[in-house]
Chain A
């Protein structure tokens, strides 16, 4: 197999979905880093996807305005849901947000503008957008051995990873900031964080809305990658799948969710040759994970072992891990 065959559109699309799933993992991780288990990601994702689809199909808006609009719409929904839902904690919040996702799904299933169960076909595609862009630059044939469709697909990949990189940079930067510390404090002990002068309600709302924004962003991008969306794409399975990214990858660290998203995007494709049996294998792998590494693939200790330059940090972290604290 030559290098060019690897870059076929099918492979490129999987690589694109890895980026979209990674953004979804971040959208689950953010509320969790402030102590909230939210299963609303699929719902927010669908709001982002449908907003982007409707704006581009019915109003002819360009892709680069519909994607931010989708994210913003999801964030707005996050604010509206946050006011009642953030009074809940733990498993109650999980159930409420899961319920929210179902409500949104049923809503899209019955609205006229979303075309109900038939879904929305022919959403303007990022590949087509980039193709048209290159053509308008006068590019007709091959460039460096790549034909136009491949070049456009490759540009879509680069675009998605650029967005992902921006999201990761934001989350990492925030973690080391005053706000990030406040989130960690709220997660550890809400009363203690209040005594520190942290407005827990505000911090929880902030994390929740940021998560909604990212889920909406991922949804809008995916709508412009797949051409077609239907309410069934954003059901309960999607919500659980996003949860799995973070649980499997490791919920202590940003990198855990990203790793989990990458693994769970690629694994079903590798197992494709087993046809329907692949879901059995998939389930068995997950069950094995929970038995042998319940904290996820990545945890602080493992990360420290990999980063040699942070010798001092490692000493601290090892002590932290050996103390076996769970908070």
Chain B
């Protein structure tokens, strides 16, 4: 579904992606883990079109999407939930959901909003409130709901568990599983490596702008290098 071939990108003069290749098969949850500054977010931003890759190719459903702007990529069926959720704090919960459907022009938007409020009852309860008043966990639900309003076939999640209470983290991973069951492919960037490997079928480990390791998530979870670097030894 998504394929990156030798993608290189820069923040200014700094080479943050040193030629990475990865694949997200249709219907899969694939995770990208690694330490701070390894280039995980840079990879997502390159796919979503927030940063233009300097070289390499990005293919989505067979089409070359390298270098397309952010909004064009959203319209093709890839939606990113940026790090820190990036909800519109001054708009109401409902308005945020409407913004998510900006690229759509069909008549089912109201129905989809109702559906998302069904799935996340807290959003229904707070529909008229400014989104900035929601708690971190609720904001993450809103960010996911808003992303779903675009009806993406591929969802890019950047650190969805960051800064959330343990209970909210569990809920986020539960939702990721559920969405995947409904057919949305997911590329998940996470620092919470243990949870990320549990929820995914395939994983890539990034180190300083390169893919250092890859494999089935279940195997990575037992890989001694991954355990030592990211999971820690269990007593």
A199-B71 in contact given A192-B82, A323-B133, A325-B132 (Cβ < 8 Å): yes
A197-B130 in contact given A188-B90, A192-B87 (Cβ < 8 Å): no
A184-B88 in contact (CB<8A): yes
A201–B70 Cα distance when bound, in Å, is 11
A327-B90 in contact given A194-B50, A199-B71 (Cβ < 8 Å): yes
Task: Mark interface residues in A297-327 (1 if CB within 8 Å of B CB, else 0).
Answer: 0000000000000001000100110010101
Task: Mark interface residues in A143-184 (1 if CB within 8 Å of B CB, else 0).
Answer: 000000000000000000000000000000000001001101
Q: Which residues on the A side are within 8 Å of B100 (C-beta)?
A: 196
A188-B89 in contact (CB<8A): yes
A270: min CB distance to chain B, Å: 36
Tell me what chain B mostly uses at the interface: helix, strand, loop, or mixed: mixed
Which residues of A from 259 to 275 have beta carbons under 8 Å from B? none
A198 in the interface, Cβ–Cβ < 8 Å? yes
Chain A residues bordering chain B, tally (CB within 8 A): 25
Q: Which residues on the A side are within 8 Å of B81 (C-beta)?
A: 195
Q: Which residues on the B side are within 8 Å of A199 (C-beta)?
A: 69, 71-72
A185 in the interface, Cβ–Cβ < 8 Å? yes
Task: Mark interface residues in B137-154 (1 if CB within 8 Å of A CB, else 0).
Answer: 000000000110010000
B75 in the interface, Cβ–Cβ < 8 Å? yes
Q: Which residues on the A side are within 8 Å of B132 (C-beta)?
A: 320, 323, 325, 327
A319-B150 in contact (CB<8A): no
Task: Mark interface residues in A208-239 (1 if CB within 8 Å of B CB, else 0).
Answer: 00000000000000000000000000000000
A320-B71 in contact (CB<8A): no
B106: min CB distance to chain A, Å: 13
A81: min CB distance to chain B, Å: 22
Q: Which residues on the B side are within 8 Å of A200 (C-beta)?
A: 70-71
A195-B70 in contact (CB<8A): yes
Which residues of B from 72 to 98 have beta carbons under 8 Å from A? 72, 74-75, 79-82, 86-92, 95, 98
A193: min CB distance to chain B, Å: 8
The one of A184, A194, A327 that contacts B70, using a Cβ cutoff of 8 Å: A194
B82-A316 in contact (CB<8A): no
The one of A189, A201, A323 that contacts B88, using a Cβ cutoff of 8 Å: A189
A192-B71 in contact (CB<8A): no
B203 in the interface, Cβ–Cβ < 8 Å? no
Residue of A nearest to B105 (CB): A178
A195-B82 in contact (CB<8A): yes
A288 in the interface, Cβ–Cβ < 8 Å? no
A191 in the interface, Cβ–Cβ < 8 Å? yes
Most buried by A among B72, B88, B100, B128: B88
A195-B80 in contact given A316-B129, A319-B133 (Cβ < 8 Å): yes
B209 in the interface, Cβ–Cβ < 8 Å? no
A195-B130 in contact (CB<8A): no
A196–B86 Cα distance when bound, in Å, is 11
Q: List 7 A-B contacts (CB under 8 A).
A: A181-B102, A194-B49, A194-B70, A195-B79, A199-B72, A316-B130, A327-B132
